[in-house]
Amino acid sequence: MYVRDDPNNPGDVIDQANEAAALFLGDALAGAKRKAEAERLALGEPGWHCLFCDAELIELGRFCGTDCSADWQREQDAKRRNIKVSG
């Protein structure tokens, strides 16, 4: 979760700052875990071919490089946006 200004609780600025600092670290880890889990669900188990360009991989994985990973992610984001817009 991201820390946002809470209009119902305007007094706890320092608490919020400490919390935000703690959350930032925890959030980064949790975010990475969530992302990995979401990726696993979306992509399935790692395989031997790039999911984006279908190139053969030299080790078990999902993408041949960060370019394909980024392009794939962009595509997923676009799909998600389209779903949201139409739905």
Of the residues 36, 42, 53, 78, which one makes contact with Zn ion according to CB under 5 A: 53
Q: Does 50 bind Zn ion (CB under 5 A)?
A: yes
Q: Does 72 bind Zn ion (CB under 5 A)?
A: no
The least distance separating Zn ion from the CB of residue 54, rounded to whole angstroms, comes to 7
CB 61 within 8 Å of CB 43: no
* CA 35 and chain centroid, separation: 4
Distance CA 80, CA 49 (A): 24
CB 50 within 8 Å of CB 67: no
**Which of the stretches 13-21, 24-32, 38-46, 67-75 binds Zn ion when contact is defined by CB under 5 A?**
67-75
Q: Give the binding site for Zn ion (CB under 5 A).
A: 50, 52-53, 55, 64, 68
